[in-house]
Amino acid sequence: MGDSVGKWGRISIFDKIFKTGDMTTFIGEHPCNVDVKGRILLPSALKKQMSSEAKEGFVVRKDIFEKCLVLYPMDEWEIQVKRIRSRLNPYNREHNKLLREFYKNTAELALDSANRILIPKYLMELIGASKEVMLHGTDNKIEIWSKEAYQMGITDEEDFAKRAEQFLGDKFENLSELLND
């Protein structure tokens, strides 16, 4: 499994699989403390995974399916908004209700000079987070969980394997080709 060597040096397997141009892919679990003002220090590992465009700011919102927050880099948030706008008509009553709910519990954030983000208190309360949170890199976003909720929601390995086979089983026939390029 050799790494490719490009003009600027070695390209890791991570880059081959997860980097798509300037798009950001977040991975890893990062336990973090919340300070008395409600700020979370963005782990350096997550900051390194961000594209240059992603560092311009963030949008945080309550997740639709889970009791967690979702932190999008601004460039990814703009992609999400374009998807929503392309599928919904704001002059349709039901679509408008969905739009309202989509934007509910959403806030724009920025990193301060110490690489901290200030999460609004009401959003932290929605997920039951206080002093300890878990940041979980999930593809193009970072999930923010209360430490307790995250630990309770961990899927066992067998359940994960069954889901991977069910949803992805026939999708990765060419993975070995990608790794050997």
**3 state DSSP class of 180:** helix
Please give the pLDDT value at position 173.
58
Q: What is the CATH number for 130?
A: 3.40.1550.20
For 34, the domain range is 23-156
- The answer to whether residues 61 and 70 touch, using CB atoms and an 8 Å cutoff, is yes
Whether 117 maps to a domain, the answer reads yes
Whether 181 maps to a domain, the answer reads no
14-63 pLDDT tens trace: 444 444 455 678 999 999 999 999 999 999 898 888 877 666 799 999 99
Number of structural domains found in the chain: 1
140-157 pLDDT tens trace: 999 999 999 998 887 778
Token output for 180: 């050997």
